[in-house]
Amino acid sequence: MRAVVQRVSEASVSVDGQVVGRIARGLLVYLGVAAGDGTADIEYIVSKVRDLRIFEDADGKMNRSVVDAGGAVLLVSQFTLSGDARKGRRPSFDAAETPAVARERYDETLAALRAAGLPVEAGVFQAHMHVAAINDGPVTILLDSSRLF
């Protein structure tokens, strides 16, 4: 499971011209589910998203989590995070989970983030979405539950 985590001042996601999720200060999280991802992968990603210390403290150091900062999370599914563009010019998505199973893992991740006490908004799985964000910093962190990076 991979995630791109961006610290934002605000972010929203729209489907067919309708806003389906919006947050103020917090984290915009793009989530890609790879074949074979399970509970341990979800727990890893949720723990990292909840506890990453990427918000500034009173001294201007990145020392606070989204919880400490009173922020929210906007979770957006993005299967292209499983893309492999090492060979040729067209990415291969062979490593991505099937849509049916990926939807289950996405929903489980969404529920786990909420169970962790985070206010969470979400995109629509498998929809064509327009995401708007004001990056704060910018601060962008890449997560991989297989710890490939």
pLDDT in tens, 2-51: 999 999 999 999 999 999 999 999 999 999 999 999 999 999 999 999 99
Provide mean pLDDT across the span 110-135: 98
Q: Residue 98 is encoded by which pair of tokens?
A: 């099937």
Positions annotated as catalytic residues are 78-80
The span from the CA of 116 to the CA of 52, in Å, is: 14
Say yes or no: domain 2-144 is CATH 3.30.70.2740: no
pLDDT tens-digit map of 92-101:
999 999 999 9
Query: How much is the average pLDDT of 53-79?
Result: 97
Tally of CB atoms within 10 A around 143: 20
Pairing, β 26-32 against β 2-15 = antiparallel
- So where are the chain's domains? 2-144
Task: Give the list of residues 6+ apart from residue 8 with CB closer than 8 angstroms, or none.
Answer: 23, 25, 26, 27, 28, 74, 133, 134, 135, 136
Give the global pTM: 0.97
Q: CA separation (Å) from 83 to 62, 80, 96?
A: 30, 5, 7
